[in-house]
Structure 1
Amino acid sequence: MLNTKNTKLITLCLIGVFFNQHSFADIKLSGEIKQGALVIGKTANDNVVTFDGKVLPLSEYGDYVFGFSRDDDKTHQLMITQPNGEKELKTLTPLKRQYDIQRIEGIAKKIMNPNPKAVTRSKQDGAQVSTARQTLSTKTDFAKGFIAPITGIITGVYGSQRVFNGVPKRPHYGLDYAGKTGDPVKAPAAGTVVMFVSDMFYSGGTMIIDHGHGITSSFLHLSKSYVKTGDEVKKGQVVAAVGSSGRTTGPHLDWRINWFNMRLDPALALKAVAIK
Structure 2
Amino acid sequence: MLTGRYQQGGFAIGRTSPRARVFVNGVDEGLASEAGYFIVGFDRDAEPQAIIRVVNADGEASHMAQIAPGDFDIQRIGGLANNQVNPTGEALLARIRAEAGRKAQGFASRADLDGFKTGFIAPLAKYRISGRFGGQRVLNGEPRTPHYGADLAAPAGASIRSPAAGVVAFAETGMHFEGGLTMIDHGQGLISLYLHQSRVDVRRGEMVSQGQVIGAVGKEGRATGPHLCWRMKWRGRNLDPTLMVGARTPA
The normalised TM-score by structure 2 is 0.88
Counterpart residue identity of residue 205, structure 1:
G
Q: 1:110 deviation in Å?
A: 9.1
- Contact 1:135 1:260 survives alignment (8 Å): no
CA–CA separation in structure 2 for the residues paired with 1:65 and 1:201: 32
CA–CA separation in structure 2 for the residues paired with 1:132 and 1:165: 30
Q: 1:141 deviation in Å?
A: 0.4
- Choose which of 183, 190, 202 in structure 2 pairs with 1:215: 190
Q: Determine helix, strand or coil for the equivalent of 1:125.
A: helix
Residue 228 of structure 2: aligned partner: 253
Residue 249 of structure 2: aligned partner: 274
CA–CA separation in structure 1 for the residues paired with 2:61 and 2:53: 6
- Choose which of 84, 106, 121 in structure 2 pairs with 1:147: 121
The answer as to 2:8 corresponding to 1:35 is yes
The answer as to 2:74 corresponding to 1:101 is yes
Q: Determine helix, strand or coil for the equivalent of 1:212.
A: coil
Counterpart residue identity of residue 146, structure 1:
F
Question: How many percent identity over aligned positions?
Answer: 36
Q: Determine helix, strand or coil for the equivalent of 1:122.
A: helix
CA separation of 1:227 and 1:102: change in aligned 2, threshold 3 A: closer
Q: 1:112 deviation in Å?
A: 6.6
Structure 1, gaps ≥5 residues long: 1-27
CA–CA separation in structure 1 for the residues paired with 2:77 and 2:166: 40
Residue 203 of structure 2: aligned partner: 228
Q: What is the root-mean-square deviation of aligned Cα atoms in Å? A: 2.6
> Which shifted more, 190-199 or 73-82?
73-82
CA–CA separation in structure 2 for the residues paired with 1:254 and 1:154: 10
Structure 2, gaps ≥5 residues long: none
CA–CA separation in structure 1 for the residues paired with 2:16 and 2:183: 28
Q: Determine helix, strand or coil for the equivalent of 1:199.
A: strand
- Contact 2:130 2:151 survives alignment (8 Å): yes
Larger Rg: 1
Counterpart residue identity of residue 101, structure 1:
I
CA–CA separation in structure 2 for the residues paired with 1:260 and 1:177: 24
Residue 188 of structure 1: aligned partner: 163
CA–CA separation in structure 2 for the residues paired with 1:200 and 1:164: 19
Residue 138 of structure 1: aligned partner: 112
Counterpart residue identity of residue 89, structure 1:
S
The normalised TM-score by structure 1 is 0.81
TM-superposition CA deviations, 1:28-56 (whole Å, max 9, x none): 11211110112211112264432222333
> Which shifted more, 179-188 or 95-104?
95-104
CA–CA separation in structure 2 for the residues paired with 1:69 and 1:160: 14
